[in-house]
């Protein structure tokens, strides 16, 4: 039973770490903190959302230039599942973004993929899908 308990604790610790990285990533976007975004996001990061998709460099550029801003975001129903050196975070966002001066508002289902590489967990991909709210 000892190895199973160690494995369980390890998974819980990873889940907590992923939740912490998620919180740091959201704060970094709100504050346009390029240094934190560089650290949290992998070099091969890709963000897919309703208008288009961005790689790491483009996403950080949009955030730091002010082309992409969060006016409001609340994240609920957060769930993390760990699969070895990969973790998947799902959540539901209520958000209002400004993208190149255009306001986008709504509910989104978020799927974020994290991977552990060389002992460091990083955000590799995000997909944000608009939800129809009745």
Averaging pLDDT over each range in 9-13, 106-110, 129-133, which range is the top one? 106-110
CB atoms under 10 Å from CB of 57, counted, come to: 12
pTM: predicted TM-score of the whole model, two decimal places: 0.86
What is the per-residue pLDDT across 93-113, written as a single tens digit (0 to 9) for each?
999 988 888 888 889 999 999
Q: Containing domain of residue 6, as a range?
A: 2-130
Q: Tell me the two tokens of residue 5.
A: 């308990």
Q: Is the Cα dihedral 57, 95, 23, 86 positive or negative?
A: negative
Contact in structure between 92 and 133 (CB atoms under 8 Å)? no
Q: Enumerate helices (H) and strands (E) in the chain, giving the number of each.
A: 3, 6
Tally of domains within the chain? 1
Mean pLDDT of the chain: 88
Distance CA 129, CA 92 (A): 10
| Structure confidence at residue 63 as a pLDDT band (50, 70, 90) | very high
pLDDT reported for residue 50: 66
């Amino acid at each position: 039973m000892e190895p199973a308990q160690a494995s369980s604790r390890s998974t819980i610790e990873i889940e907590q770490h992923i939740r912490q990285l998620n919180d740091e990533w959201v704060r970094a976007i709100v504050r346009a903190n390029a240094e934190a975004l560089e650290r949290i996001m992998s070099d091969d990061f890709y963000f897919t959302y309703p208008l288009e998709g961005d790689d790491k460099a483009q996403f950080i550029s949009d955030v730091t230039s002010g082309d992409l801003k969060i006016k409001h975001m609340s994240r609920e129903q957060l769930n993390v599942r760990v699969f070895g050196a990969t973790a998947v975070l799902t959540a539901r966002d209520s958000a209002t973004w400004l993208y190149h001066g255009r306001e986008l508002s709504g509910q989104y289902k978020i799927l974020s993929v994290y991977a552990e590489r060389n002992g460091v967990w990083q955000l590799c991909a995000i997909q944000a899908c608009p939800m129809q709210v009745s």
